Structure 1
Amino acid sequence: MEGMEGKYNIKAASKMLGIQPGTLRAWERRYQMIAPIRNESGHRLYTEEHIKILKWLVKKINQGFTISQAVSLLENNELFSDGPNVIEGNQITSMSVELLSSLINFKELKAQEIINSLFSLFTIEKVIFDIFVPLLEKIGELRESHKINGANEHFAFSIIRSRIGTIFYNSPQNPYLPKAVAVCSPGEAHEIGLLIFSLVLRRKGFDVVYLGSGITEDDLNETLNKIHPDFLFISCTMKENLPNVLPLITSIKLNNKNLKIGIGGYAVKTMKQSDKEQLSAFIVGQTRGDWEKWLSTRAG
């Protein structure tokens, strides 16, 4: 039958898929999702159907799934349709709604249970950027519209911050990569965005010293003089603190000429275009793609 004839050896298949032959062998041994045909010499031969399956798995991995999660979707007969994307989206939506309800109603055990399930189903990056970030924004909107109060918001943020912090401090660091200091601008109280950014840096291997909020300019300068980092990242979420950011950067640069400084946060996002132009060299951006682009031009 068409598609069932062995046509591609492992070298050709690996090249088509963009993965190493060793990775392909490991997938087959562990997950047994395909059974390549063997030629007379015992070498693997892959059919068109095998390649179709493997390309789908690679696509799922590129979308943020682990290989085990992708194989699980495959085993649930969701191959080659829009089903996995629809099911994934529905699952994320329903679990996010349930998590939001648990958080704003002070149901800690239920919230932790949902969070544990999310991390068992999806990658760390997917949970944080596709679930936690929109959830935090939604909670902020509810607070601003007075549908929840400060206690609801504080409780929810504390739970999510704790989980992100645990991942951050358990992520390995590479002492041979640049050292970075992450701090909130003076007067700031919100630091989850900075913590998420710091986690991205830490998972890239950066040696990150996370200071968070409540750090005075004098204490920051003393820390910089002590550890001599390559980067300083400043978060500013409150608009009233924004006028202090540029003088802070100017002051720090006077004594740390080689220090690379990046700024971000909600206040930076919403500043006037003229102010953005003045600070354009320092603005890291709002999305992970923005962050990657900014770092790629300065971390070399």
Structure 2
Amino acid sequence: MNNIKNQFSIKDLENLTGIKAHTIRIWEKRYNLLEPKRTDTNIRYYDLASFQKLLNVSYLNNNGYKISKIATIQEDKIPALVREIAAESNLESHAINAFKLSMLNFDQSLFYNTYNTLLKEKDFHEIFYEIFIPLLTEIGLLWQTDTISPAHEHFLTSLLRQKILINTEKAQSKQVNKSTKTFVLYLPENEIHELGLMFINHQLVSRGYQSIFLGFSVPMESLKDLQDYYDEIIYVSYFTVKPEKADINDYLKNFNELLVKDGNTQLWILGHMLNSVDLDNLPKGIFPFKSIQSLIDKV
């Protein structure tokens, strides 16, 4: 059975493109840019071709083309014009749109072709910061608004994970330990969102640091085992959904008592759940960061 999403409400289009539903309706009526279809029960919807066209129209509009001008361009000429502009400038926005199309169609070839095109202009570091991070932010919002399914998210993140692993392996082959510090990267129990942590691992390895990646859902008590092997440890963790708001302060207090207090050890933390923490009163040795870049800058 083909389960590719091919029917979109106007709210879906708003979430996917960032164009307000009111604006879409105006473009539809005034310029005949889109032609919504109707179900057997007379409910309006847009097909995949309409979604792709709207992405292209939005891209041209953001690059200085007036809607009245776009409406006069032959429909089959619009994608070529978008590719022409993307080749000259604003590659990031075009790539993000292509990755979203890849995700919605479960289209691996489009993902790989888009990524390989980016590699001609950027290195992996730039691609992750300039394209993958904004893309992941958008994907998170789309998932929260039910515009995409968990299957879409897993499809895309598995491909991103693949690219991080490949580039980390390349960096490890050239690794030179430049410090007595050992970074131990882990996620707390029941936390599974590891892409950000994986990229931090890549960045640390690329800079020649000793980095041990433990992955997701690691019990706090098992981290103590590493202190039998390394004298100066910096634990790094990403709190996206865990520990929960009611538990996070106790978690940090317990971590400090078990692993940080009176030792040559630190904990560096990032993630959405830090919004539930009083960052000005953290135990000594526990350091919060607002972004991956700010953490890497401290290294």
1:138 aligns with 2:138: yes
Contact 2:95–2:131, Cα closer than 8 Å, also in 1? no
Q: 1:289 and 1:149, CA in 2 relative to 1: closer, same or farther beyond 3 A?
A: closer
Match of 1:262 among 265, 268, 273: 268
Deviations 1:249-286 (A, max 9, x none): 331124x7001221112212x235xx111228633423
In the alignment, which residue of structure 1 is the partner of 2:3?
none
Q: Please report how far the alpha carbon of residue 163 of structure 1 lies from its aligned counterpart in structure 2 after TM superposition.
A: 0.6
Q: Please report how far the alpha carbon of residue 88 of structure 1 lies from its aligned counterpart in structure 2 after TM superposition.
A: 6.1
Give the Cα–Cα distance (whole angstroms) in 2 for the partners of residues 184 and 278 of structure 1: 22
Give the Cα–Cα distance (whole angstroms) in 2 for the partners of residues 88 and 203 of structure 1: 30
Q: Please report how far the alpha carbon of residue 87 of structure 1 lies from its aligned counterpart in structure 2 after TM superposition.
A: 6.5
Give the Cα–Cα distance (whole angstroms) in 2 for the partners of residues 141 and 151 of structure 1: 15
> Number of residue pairs matched?
207
Q: 1:250 and 1:169, CA in 2 relative to 1: closer, same or farther beyond 3 A?
A: farther
Question: Identity across aligned pairs (percent)?
Answer: 21
Contact 2:239–2:271, Cα closer than 8 Å, also in 1? yes
Give structure 2 stretches of 5+ with no counterpart. Answer: 1-84
1:1-300 to 2 correspondences below 5 Å:
89-171=89-171, 172-177=174-179, 178-238=181-241, 240=244, 242-243=248-249, 244-254=251-261, 257-268=263-274, 270-272=275-277, 275-279=278-282, 282-295=286-299
Q: 1:226 and 1:88, CA in 2 relative to 1: closer, same or farther beyond 3 A?
A: farther
Give the Cα–Cα distance (whole angstroms) in 1 for the partners of residues 238 and 155 of structure 2: 22
Give RMSD over aligned pairs.
2.4
Give the Cα–Cα distance (whole angstroms) in 1 for the partners of residues 189 and 95 of structure 2: 36
Q: Please report how far the alpha carbon of residue 225 of structure 1 lies from its aligned counterpart in structure 2 after TM superposition.
A: 2.4
Q: Please report how far the alpha carbon of residue 146 of structure 1 lies from its aligned counterpart in structure 2 after TM superposition.
A: 0.6
Q: Please report how far the alpha carbon of residue 224 of structure 1 lies from its aligned counterpart in structure 2 after TM superposition.
A: 3.4
Contact 1:104–1:155, Cα closer than 8 Å, also in 2? no
Q: Which one-letter code corresponds to 2:175 in the other structure?
A: Q
Contact 1:182–1:208, Cα closer than 8 Å, also in 2? yes
Q: 1:149 and 1:260, CA in 2 relative to 1: closer, same or farther beyond 3 A?
A: same
SS of the equivalent of 1:283 reads strand
In the alignment, which residue of structure 1 is the partner of 2:72?
none
Q: Please report how far the alpha carbon of residue 86 of structure 1 lies from its aligned counterpart in structure 2 after TM superposition.
A: 9.0
Give the Cα–Cα distance (whole angstroms) in 2 for the partners of residues 151 and 209 of structure 1: 30
Q: 1:156 and 1:245, CA in 2 relative to 1: closer, same or farther beyond 3 A?
A: farther
Contact 1:284–1:290, Cα closer than 8 Å, also in 2? no
Contact 2:86–2:94, Cα closer than 8 Å, also in 1? no
Q: Please, what TM-score do these two structures have when normalized by structure 1? A: 0.62
